[in-house]
Structure 1
Amino acid sequence: MVNRKKIRLRNGDILDVEEYHDGNYGSPGKTRRKKEKPTKEQVRLINQRNKAKRCRWRLLQYFNEGDLFITWTYEVRNRPPNMEGALKDFRAAIGKIRKVYRGLVVQLYWIRNIERGTKGAWHIHLVIKQTPEGDTAAIVTKAWTKGGTYVAEIRHSKFTGDDMEQLADYLTKDEHTAEPRKDGTPGKPRIAESSYNTSRNMPLPEPKEDKLLRWKPEVKPPKGYYIARIHEGINPVTGFLYRSYTLIKLKTQERKKPLNRVRRC
């Protein structure tokens, strides 16, 4: 038997799906594999994946490609002594922004990650909802007085893909994140500590669960949707096949979009 978990975002315009076995791949004549207790490292990886997944869901539900990706940096003389000082600086800046948004028709949605680098520098990555007037860049620049403000629309940033996965992974980096070197070998982490959080006004719908009789060899999108993201592999904890993918509804004026990428783990 195959479990399927599906979450509907943007009133069904986006479907995010997970499929995984609850037995030994559904193969006849084989005994069910004994479930092993996950290690601490496996638990950490699962928690990190879940954090990135929920970040991606919020990006898909509440943000568009025209919304902004902000980086706030610190002048050396303004660097906070610790994370509590950085959190205080962020709360002061977002408080100023919140006052401006209260007079607008758009809600203030934000996702941020405060990061201290291994060499002592601090910065804050922030995704924020654009105002109808398009003046959010000026608002966030005025609110931040500790250093520089760097602004890009999500669609013009280095994060590509309608599925928002690259951006979600970037926003949820922590001290364990190590980008691969050019030769493919793992590099050293560049973050000493981080603090991830979101605004409280971004609830997510509950995923719906059902059962499939068998594992389908490939995903066929329903009519009117395209596959924006797909990952397939073996769950390192259970040892069973799993698959996750994102379906996005085609706009009436668009031709079918190509698959962004397939990752097999």
Structure 2
Amino acid sequence: MTKRKQHRFKGGKIIDVEEYHDGRYGAPGCKREKKKNPTKEQIQKINAWNKARRCRWKLLEYFFPGDCFATWTYEVKNRPPDMAGALKDFQKAMRSVRKEYKKRGQELFWIRNIERGTKGAWHIHLIVNEIGETASILQRAWTKGGTWSIEIRNSKYYDEDFSKISSYMTKDEHTTDKRSDGSQAKPRISESNYNSSRNMPLPEPKVDKLVRWKAEPKPKKGYYISQIHEGINPVTGYKYRRYTMIRLKEGDSG
């Protein structure tokens, strides 16, 4: 059985689509790869993908390209002894940020990842909704080291459907980069802690049954497809596909 799951964000301006085969049923017209028990590495990749996916959905629903992408760094003398200490530092700084947002009558949305590098350095990557003076608010709130900030759209991790930045924001000790020769480099993170503010519920998806698996997806009228990702689910052995449709602006042609 082929299914299509649609997540609608920002009132339907963005539609995230997942098409996949239910592993409990056959898949007419689609050859199935040999089913295998997932390895430990595959399970780690699936867990990482699910975490990045939920992060991306929150970005699509609550954030915009002009919002703030920041990093809080530590001076060596202020480095925390452990993750519990880093969490306390983050919470203290965010109380200050939240207070400033409240003064201005603004709601605060945030996503963050606290990371400790393999050489012992700590830093916090942070995405916050922009209210006009967010960079200065973040800088004043953080007293443990430096503050670096940029608009999401101006960072090297920006793409239209937030895939790159969601993967970046959910890095952990299993994340590796590819070298120029194609080999995998060693992880640069020894420990991480990902979280987001609680005021960001996600809309329930709409699920439809499809008659067959189409070779290529077609966008709805008035939309265009920004990104397509395809692969094989290692658990079911069937193909899956994800793509994002974005509503055309007035005056744009299809």
Q: What TM bracket, shorter-length normalisation? A: over 0.9
Aligned: 1:97 with 2:126: no
After TM superposition, give the deviation of residue 19 of structure 1 in Å.
0.7
After TM superposition, give the deviation of residue 69 of structure 1 in Å.
0.3
After TM superposition, give the deviation of residue 41 of structure 1 in Å.
3.1
Match of 1:237 among 231, 235, 238: 235
> Is the CA contact 1:18–1:242 (under 8 Å) kept in the aligned structure 2?
yes
Aligned partner letter, 1:158: K
Structure 1 range deviating more: 228-237 or 120-129? 228-237
Aligned: 1:215 with 2:213: yes
> Is the CA contact 1:226–1:250 (under 8 Å) kept in the aligned structure 2?
yes
Distance (Å, rounded) in 1 between the aligned partners of 2:128 and 2:229:
28
> Is the CA contact 2:5–2:207 (under 8 Å) kept in the aligned structure 1?
yes
CA distance 1:255–1:136, shift in 2 (3 Å): farther
TM-score w.r.t. the length of structure 1 is 0.90
After TM superposition, give the deviation of residue 194 of structure 1 in Å.
0.2
- Tell me the equivalent position of 2:84: 84
- Tell me the equivalent position of 2:117: 117
Match of 1:26 among 17, 25, 28: 28
The correspondence of residues 244-255 of structure 1 with structure 2, limited to 5 A, is 244-255=242-253
- Tell me the equivalent position of 1:144: 142
Aligned partner letter, 2:28: G
Distance (Å, rounded) in 2 between the aligned partners of 1:165 and 1:52:
8
- Tell me the equivalent position of 1:259: none
Aligned partner letter, 1:88: K
Q: Secondary structure at the match of 2:16?
A: strand
Distance (Å, rounded) in 1 between the aligned partners of 2:33 and 2:83:
44
> Is the CA contact 1:24–1:33 (under 8 Å) kept in the aligned structure 2?
no
Structure 1 residue runs of 5 or longer lacking an equivalent are 257-265
Distance (Å, rounded) in 2 between the aligned partners of 1:231 and 1:221:
15
Q: Secondary structure at the match of 1:102?
A: helix
After TM superposition, give the deviation of residue 147 of structure 1 in Å.
0.4
Distance (Å, rounded) in 2 between the aligned partners of 1:53 and 1:178:
18
- Tell me the equivalent position of 2:108: 108
- Tell me the equivalent position of 1:54: 54
Distance (Å, rounded) in 2 between the aligned partners of 1:121 and 1:157:
22
Higher RCO (CA-CA < 8 Å; seq separation 6+): 2
Instruction: Output the aligned Cα RMSD.
Output: 1.8
> Is the CA contact 2:68–2:128 (under 8 Å) kept in the aligned structure 1?
yes
> Is the CA contact 2:34–2:237 (under 8 Å) kept in the aligned structure 1?
no
- Tell me the equivalent position of 1:198: 196
Structure 2 residue runs of 5 or longer lacking an equivalent are none
- Tell me the equivalent position of 1:135: 133
Alignment length, in residue pairs? 252
